[in-house]
Amino acid sequence: MVKWFSGKSVRIEVPRLRSRSNVLPTEKVALAEFAPDVMGFLGRAAYVQLKIFETLSRVITNAPTTAAKTAIGKAAELSLGKHRALVAEITKAGGSPADVMDPFTDAFDEFERISRGTDWYESLITAYLSAGFFDDFYAKLAEGLPTESRTRLVTIFAGESGEQVLAEYLQAAIDANPRLDSRLAMWGRRLVGDMMLAARSALVFPDHTRTTEAQVEPVFGELIAAHTRRMDALGLTA
Amino acid sequence: MVKWFSGKSVRIEVPRLRSRSNVLPTEKVALAEFAPDVMGFLGRAAYVQLKIFETLSRVITNAPTTAAKTAIGKAAELSLGKHRALVAEITKAGGSPADVMDPFTDAFDEFERISRGTDWYESLITAYLSAGFFDDFYAKLAEGLPTESRTRLVTIFAGESGEQVLAEYLQAAIDANPRLDSRLAMWGRRLVGDMMLAARSALVFPDHTRTTEAQVEPVFGELIAAHTRRMDALGLTA
């Protein structure tokens, strides 16, 4: 398992903001400050795992070898397991899973559609980058939820992921095809923007009308750094 | 969980055949008599679970509701779990999983291709009927394997399946659309032939050149009966 963040027990170094209304553009801010309500969190997070599963299952169906199908199957199983755990949290919180997820399906269906890519390698790097990005995103965001569910939720996203095996298949493909790296680097750069847009819709800002891009951008600082490390791991320029 | 057979502890009532060479057309025979070697068994059984997973994942991707995606996700997870358990058995028996599965991929890729159906409902009934059929088939066939692995293997196939949830979505679709039943009945009748053909290739007959259709047919008696019960459960004529 690859862990880009240092684990759930580590505290964020930046001081908690004094109040949500005085976020300054120059201040380092934590995603947790902008957490939505629990159901808004769970609905999005559970549905995203379904879409990551759909991406992975297409990768499995189109895989060039039986070995790749079996190996990537483990990643798909882990996504389904996270989805199921989040659905159980919705039920535990008194919600009906489909009703809680449905308000967010359009945005993530659209993300899944535009992130499909034109061949197996683009789908594979989408699965690798987006599974990691959204696990990181929801793990960080969960830190802003009420204590009661926070620990369980952070644990779900910190759980085993298929990232390592996806990286191995990407690395093998890049090694075997010298022209693949520049194409995948371009794809990864495009994808990070789409992922931030899809993630951003979950954030609740103190004063929505006065929120500027400059205030939103720093929230994604750690996520972008983790994305860059995922690209670096494959020798790709982020 | 729906159990069409009465469970792994029940003995088959027919006497064991005296020897593999004197199978008579009129004799009731057990699938276990025709089991291939362990690796031939595991390679096929593991790959079939991958194909069932691929069928289920297409059903999930194309599902008309979020509730259906979540519910059928459980069935996909169970198939992947069975695949993983069978791959572990290959490793335990000293084999390389992909090498052991690869000789059998063409036949099952072809089965998966022709069993896709033209819409969501045909894919859904394919998943329902084929997951059940192949679990039954390999559970029965495993009884003819050496004692050492037999019990573990029979347990894998007797494990929880997504059959119940698939039947519920099919039933709801049939209830909502009066013309769907005759189309799905026809599809199920066609499918049983394709499943028997795909399954049959695993069987080892005592004297291959003298094996007649009349000898093969009875082997599938219980499986066809179980298939008919699955169709009956939806009010469809098998």
Task: Choose among B70, B76, B102: nearest Cβ to A97.
Answer: B70
Higher model confidence: residue A158 or residue B62?
Answer: B62
Higher model confidence: residue A139 or residue B149?
Answer: A139
| pLDDT value for A78 | 95
Question: What are the C-alpha distances in Å from A128 to residues A136, B24, B234?
Answer: 13, 56, 40
Give the span between the Cα atoms of A58 and A77, in whole angstroms: 13
Question: What's the token pair of residue A237?
Answer: 């320029």
Decide: A87 and A45 in contact? Cβ < 8 Å: no
Q: What is the mean pLDDT of chain A?
A: 86
User: Residue A18's pLDDT band (boundaries 50, 70, 90)?
Assistant: very low
| pLDDT value for B91 | 97
Question: What's the token pair of residue A72?
Answer: 């990537």
Task: For chain B, give every domain's residue range.
Answer: 32-233
Query: Which CATH number describes the domain made up of A31-233?
Result: 1.20.1260.10
Give the span between the Cα atoms of B179 and B214, in whole angstroms: 36
**Separation in Å, CA of B215 to nearest CA in chain A:** 34
Percent of chain A with pLDDT over 70: 84
| pLDDT value for A208 | 57
B142 exposed, middle or buried (CB, 10 Å; 0-12, 13-18, 19+)? buried
In CATH terms, is domain B32-233 a member of 1.20.1260.10? Answer: yes
pLDDT above 80: residue A28: no
Give the span between the Cα atoms of B203 and B196, in whole angstroms: 11
Question: What's the token pair of residue A145?
Answer: 């939820």
The DSSP symbol for A179 reads T
ipTM value: 0.81
Q: Structure pTM? A: 0.84
Name the residue among A124, A82, A103, A111 with its Cα closest to residue A195. Answer: A111
The residue of chain A with its CA nearest to that of B78 is A77
Give the span between the Cα atoms of B55 and B172, in whole angstroms: 20
Residue contact B65–A101, C-beta within 8 A: no
Which pairs with CB-CB distance under 8 Å and at least 24 residues apart come from A215-218? Answer: A215/A23, A215/A25, A215/A29, A218/A25, A218/A27, A218/A28, A218/A29
pLDDT above 70: residue A32: yes
Give the span between the Cα atoms of A144 and A214, in whole angstroms: 21
The DSSP symbol for A34 reads G
pLDDT above 50: residue B21: no
Residue contact B70–A105, C-beta within 8 A: no
3-state secondary structure labels for all residues of chain B = CCCCCCCCCCCCCCCCCCCHHHCCCCCCCCHHHHCCCHHHHHHHHHHHHHHHHHHHHHHHHCCCCHHHHHHHHHHHHHHHHHHHHHHHHHHHCCCCHHHHHHHHHHHHHHHHHHCCCCCHHHHHHHHHHHHHHHHHHHHHHHCCCCHHHHHHHHHHHHCCCCHHHHHHHHHHHHHHCCCHHHHHHHHHHHHHHHHHHHHHCCCCCCCHHHCCHHHHHHHHHHHHHHHHHHHHHCCCCC
| pLDDT value for A212 | 63
Chain A residues with CB within 8 Å of chain B CB: 46-47, 50, 53-54, 57-58, 60-61, 65-67, 69-70, 73-74, 76-77, 80-81, 83-84, 87, 97-98, 101-102, 105
Q: Report CA B225 to chain centroid distance, whole Å.
A: 13
Chain A residues touching residue B80 (CB < 8 angstroms): 73-74, 76-77, 80
| pLDDT value for A120 | 96
Residue entry with tokens 């005085």:
A22
pLDDT in tens, B33-66: 888 999 999 999 999 999 999 999 999 999 999 9
User: Residue B212's pLDDT band (boundaries 50, 70, 90)?
Assistant: low
Residue contact B61–A57, C-beta within 8 A: yes
Q: What is the CA radius of gyration of chain A?
A: 18
Residue contact B66–A73, C-beta within 8 A: no
In sign, the C-alpha dihedral spanning A113, A118, A123, A125 is negative
Q: How many CB atoms lie within 10 A of CB A212?
A: 10
Residue contact B98–A65, C-beta within 8 A: yes
pLDDT in tens, B101-137: 999 999 999 999 999 999 999 999 999 999 999 999 9
